[in-house]
Copies of this chain bind each other. A is one copy, B any other.
Amino acid sequence: MKASDRAYAALLSDIQNGALAPGTVLGETEQAARLGVSRTPLREALARLAADGLVVQQSPRVTVVTDVDADDIRQLFEFREALEIAAARLAAVRAPRAVFAALAEEFDQTTLVGAGRPAYYDLIARFDVELDAVIDNSYLASALRTVRTHLVRVRRLSRDNPTRLAASVSEHRLIASAIAAGDADLAAHATHVHLHNALTTILASLDGAIHESGAA
Protein backbone atom coordinates (compact mmCIF):
# COMPACT_ATOMS: atom_id res chain seq x y z
CA MET A 1 0.00 0.00 0.00
CA LYS A 2 1.23 3.45 -0.85
CA ALA A 3 2.29 5.79 1.91
CA SER A 4 -0.02 8.48 0.56
CA ASP A 5 -2.96 6.08 0.83
CA ARG A 6 -2.06 5.19 4.37
CA ALA A 7 -1.79 8.85 5.27
CA TYR A 8 -5.14 9.61 3.65
CA ALA A 9 -6.87 6.71 5.35
CA ALA A 10 -5.40 7.62 8.72
CA LEU A 11 -6.31 11.29 8.47
CA LEU A 12 -9.79 10.50 7.14
CA SER A 13 -10.42 8.15 10.01
CA ASP A 14 -9.05 10.59 12.57
CA ILE A 15 -11.23 13.38 11.25
CA GLN A 16 -14.36 11.24 11.02
CA ASN A 17 -14.09 9.84 14.53
CA GLY A 18 -13.22 13.18 16.02
CA ALA A 19 -9.63 12.48 17.02
CA LEU A 20 -8.80 15.48 14.89
CA ALA A 21 -11.45 17.97 15.95
CA PRO A 22 -12.79 20.69 13.67
CA GLY A 23 -10.48 23.66 13.72
CA THR A 24 -7.37 21.56 14.30
CA VAL A 25 -4.45 22.94 12.35
CA LEU A 26 -2.72 20.27 10.29
CA GLY A 27 0.91 21.19 9.82
CA GLU A 28 2.63 19.17 7.16
CA THR A 29 5.78 18.55 9.12
CA GLU A 30 3.87 17.65 12.26
CA GLN A 31 1.42 15.23 10.63
CA ALA A 32 4.10 13.66 8.49
CA ALA A 33 6.07 12.88 11.61
CA ARG A 34 3.00 11.61 13.47
CA LEU A 35 1.97 9.22 10.68
CA GLY A 36 5.48 8.11 9.85
CA VAL A 37 5.54 9.27 6.25
CA SER A 38 7.43 12.04 4.57
CA ARG A 39 5.89 15.35 3.58
CA THR A 40 5.39 14.48 -0.09
CA PRO A 41 2.78 11.72 0.33
CA LEU A 42 1.26 13.62 3.22
CA ARG A 43 0.67 16.62 0.98
CA GLU A 44 -1.09 14.35 -1.47
CA ALA A 45 -3.32 13.07 1.32
CA LEU A 46 -4.14 16.62 2.41
CA ALA A 47 -4.99 17.57 -1.16
CA ARG A 48 -7.43 14.68 -1.36
CA LEU A 49 -9.02 15.65 1.94
CA ALA A 50 -9.32 19.21 0.68
CA ALA A 51 -11.05 17.97 -2.47
CA ASP A 52 -13.44 16.02 -0.23
CA GLY A 53 -14.08 19.19 1.75
CA LEU A 54 -12.91 17.76 5.06
CA VAL A 55 -10.04 20.19 5.40
CA VAL A 56 -9.57 23.65 4.00
CA GLN A 57 -6.53 25.80 3.34
CA GLN A 58 -7.40 28.90 5.31
CA SER A 59 -4.18 30.62 4.33
CA PRO A 60 -1.15 29.29 2.49
CA ARG A 61 0.18 28.69 5.93
CA VAL A 62 -2.58 26.82 7.75
CA THR A 63 -4.68 23.85 6.74
CA VAL A 64 -7.49 23.22 9.21
CA VAL A 65 -10.12 20.55 9.73
CA THR A 66 -13.44 21.99 8.56
CA ASP A 67 -16.12 22.76 11.07
CA VAL A 68 -19.56 21.15 11.09
CA ASP A 69 -22.29 23.51 12.20
CA ALA A 70 -26.03 23.61 11.66
CA ASP A 71 -25.68 25.59 8.46
CA ASP A 72 -23.26 23.02 7.04
CA ILE A 73 -25.77 20.32 7.82
CA ARG A 74 -28.48 22.30 6.05
CA GLN A 75 -26.27 22.63 2.98
CA LEU A 76 -25.32 18.98 3.09
CA PHE A 77 -28.94 17.87 3.24
CA GLU A 78 -30.02 20.19 0.46
CA PHE A 79 -27.32 18.63 -1.66
CA ARG A 80 -28.11 15.14 -0.48
CA GLU A 81 -31.79 15.60 -1.24
CA ALA A 82 -31.07 16.68 -4.80
CA LEU A 83 -28.80 13.68 -5.36
CA GLU A 84 -30.82 10.98 -3.64
CA ILE A 85 -34.13 12.01 -5.12
CA ALA A 86 -32.57 11.92 -8.57
CA ALA A 87 -30.98 8.59 -7.71
CA ALA A 88 -34.27 7.13 -6.51
CA ARG A 89 -36.02 8.23 -9.71
CA LEU A 90 -33.32 6.75 -11.91
CA ALA A 91 -33.32 3.52 -9.94
CA ALA A 92 -37.09 3.20 -10.21
CA VAL A 93 -36.79 3.43 -13.97
CA ARG A 94 -33.71 1.27 -14.40
CA ALA A 95 -33.47 -1.20 -11.56
CA PRO A 96 -34.24 -4.84 -12.17
CA ARG A 97 -37.40 -5.47 -10.11
CA ALA A 98 -36.06 -8.43 -8.15
CA VAL A 99 -33.08 -6.74 -6.54
CA PHE A 100 -34.97 -4.03 -4.70
CA ALA A 101 -37.93 -6.25 -3.96
CA ALA A 102 -35.50 -8.48 -2.09
CA LEU A 103 -34.07 -5.48 -0.25
CA ALA A 104 -37.56 -4.30 0.69
CA GLU A 105 -38.25 -7.74 2.11
CA GLU A 106 -35.04 -7.58 4.12
CA PHE A 107 -35.96 -4.19 5.55
CA ASP A 108 -39.28 -5.72 6.49
CA GLN A 109 -37.57 -8.59 8.28
CA THR A 110 -35.23 -6.22 10.07
CA THR A 111 -38.20 -4.34 11.48
CA LEU A 112 -39.90 -7.49 12.71
CA VAL A 113 -36.89 -9.19 14.18
CA GLY A 114 -35.70 -5.96 15.77
CA ALA A 115 -32.15 -6.74 14.82
CA GLY A 116 -29.37 -4.69 16.32
CA ARG A 117 -27.88 -1.50 15.05
CA PRO A 118 -24.94 -3.06 13.16
CA ALA A 119 -27.27 -5.26 11.11
CA TYR A 120 -29.28 -2.24 10.10
CA TYR A 121 -26.25 -0.21 9.10
CA ASP A 122 -25.00 -3.17 7.12
CA LEU A 123 -28.29 -3.45 5.30
CA ILE A 124 -28.30 0.28 4.57
CA ALA A 125 -24.80 0.01 3.17
CA ARG A 126 -25.88 -2.77 0.83
CA PHE A 127 -28.86 -0.68 -0.23
CA ASP A 128 -26.49 2.17 -1.11
CA VAL A 129 -24.21 -0.16 -3.05
CA GLU A 130 -27.11 -1.54 -5.06
CA LEU A 131 -28.38 1.96 -5.72
CA ASP A 132 -25.00 3.10 -7.02
CA ALA A 133 -24.78 0.04 -9.22
CA VAL A 134 -28.16 0.35 -10.93
CA ILE A 135 -27.84 4.09 -11.36
CA ASP A 136 -24.76 3.64 -13.49
CA ASN A 137 -23.67 7.26 -13.23
CA SER A 138 -20.15 8.05 -12.10
CA TYR A 139 -20.89 11.71 -11.41
CA LEU A 140 -23.79 10.88 -9.12
CA ALA A 141 -21.87 8.06 -7.50
CA SER A 142 -18.92 10.30 -6.80
CA ALA A 143 -21.09 13.05 -5.34
CA LEU A 144 -22.94 10.53 -3.18
CA ARG A 145 -19.62 9.24 -1.92
CA THR A 146 -18.71 12.76 -0.83
CA VAL A 147 -22.05 13.16 0.93
CA ARG A 148 -21.61 9.90 2.79
CA THR A 149 -18.12 10.88 3.86
CA HIS A 150 -19.50 14.02 5.46
CA LEU A 151 -22.50 12.23 6.94
CA VAL A 152 -20.21 10.14 9.12
CA ARG A 153 -19.24 13.24 11.05
CA VAL A 154 -22.80 14.55 11.20
CA ARG A 155 -24.03 11.27 12.65
CA ARG A 156 -21.33 11.45 15.28
CA LEU A 157 -22.65 14.82 16.39
CA SER A 158 -26.23 13.65 16.79
CA ARG A 159 -26.65 10.62 18.97
CA ASP A 160 -28.75 8.03 17.19
CA ASN A 161 -31.93 7.19 19.00
CA PRO A 162 -33.68 3.81 18.69
CA THR A 163 -37.08 5.22 17.79
CA ARG A 164 -35.65 7.08 14.83
CA LEU A 165 -33.74 4.00 13.75
CA ALA A 166 -36.92 1.94 13.55
CA ALA A 167 -38.66 4.65 11.57
CA SER A 168 -35.71 4.88 9.25
CA VAL A 169 -35.88 1.17 8.50
CA SER A 170 -39.54 1.49 7.64
CA GLU A 171 -38.84 4.48 5.38
CA HIS A 172 -36.14 2.55 3.56
CA ARG A 173 -38.51 -0.32 3.06
CA LEU A 174 -40.94 1.99 1.31
CA ILE A 175 -38.22 3.48 -0.90
CA ALA A 176 -36.97 0.05 -1.89
CA SER A 177 -40.43 -1.24 -2.70
CA ALA A 178 -41.25 1.88 -4.72
CA ILE A 179 -38.08 1.33 -6.75
CA ALA A 180 -39.00 -2.33 -7.15
CA ALA A 181 -42.44 -1.30 -8.39
CA GLY A 182 -40.91 1.12 -10.86
CA ASP A 183 -42.82 4.00 -9.28
CA ALA A 184 -40.43 6.93 -9.72
CA ASP A 185 -42.68 9.52 -8.10
CA LEU A 186 -43.25 7.43 -5.01
CA ALA A 187 -39.55 6.58 -4.75
CA ALA A 188 -38.69 10.28 -5.00
CA HIS A 189 -41.31 11.40 -2.50
CA ALA A 190 -40.48 8.64 -0.04
CA THR A 191 -36.83 9.67 -0.27
CA HIS A 192 -37.85 13.27 0.35
CA VAL A 193 -39.83 12.25 3.42
CA HIS A 194 -36.98 10.09 4.69
CA LEU A 195 -34.42 12.87 4.39
CA HIS A 196 -36.77 15.38 5.95
CA ASN A 197 -37.25 13.14 8.96
CA ALA A 198 -33.56 12.37 9.23
CA LEU A 199 -32.64 16.05 9.14
CA THR A 200 -35.30 17.01 11.65
CA THR A 201 -34.06 14.39 14.08
CA ILE A 202 -30.46 15.45 13.66
CA LEU A 203 -31.19 19.13 14.19
CA ALA A 204 -33.32 18.37 17.22
CA SER A 205 -30.58 16.21 18.68
CA LEU A 206 -28.13 18.99 17.98
CA ASP A 207 -30.26 21.55 19.80
CA GLY A 208 -30.60 19.18 22.72
CA ALA A 209 -26.86 18.73 22.92
CA ILE A 210 -26.35 22.49 22.87
CA HIS A 211 -28.85 23.04 25.67
CA GLU A 212 -27.34 20.31 27.75
CA SER A 213 -23.82 21.56 27.34
CA GLY A 214 -25.14 25.03 28.08
CA ALA A 215 -26.78 23.78 31.26
CA ALA A 216 -23.72 21.81 32.33
A interface vs B, CB < 8 Å? 40, 43-44, 47-48, 51, 53, 75-76, 78-79, 81-83, 85-86, 90, 136-140, 142-143, 146-147
Contact = CB atoms under 8 A, between A and B. Distances in A.
B53 A140 contact: no
Contact of A47 (B44, B75, B85, B147): B44
B139 A75 contact: yes
28 contacts: A40-B40, A43-B44, A44-B44, A44-B47, A47-B47, A51-B51, A53-B138, A53-B139, A75-B136, A75-B137, A75-B138, A75-B139, A75-B140, A76-B139, A78-B86, A78-B90, A78-B137, A78-B139, A79-B86, A79-B137, A79-B143, A82-B82, A82-B83, A82-B85, A82-B86, A82-B140, A139-B147, A143-B143
A86 B76 CA distance: 13
A47 B142 CA distance: 15
A183 to B, nearest CB: 19
Contacts of A143: 79, 143
Nearest to A75: B137
A174 to B, nearest CB: 21
Contacts of A81: 86
Nearest to A81: B86
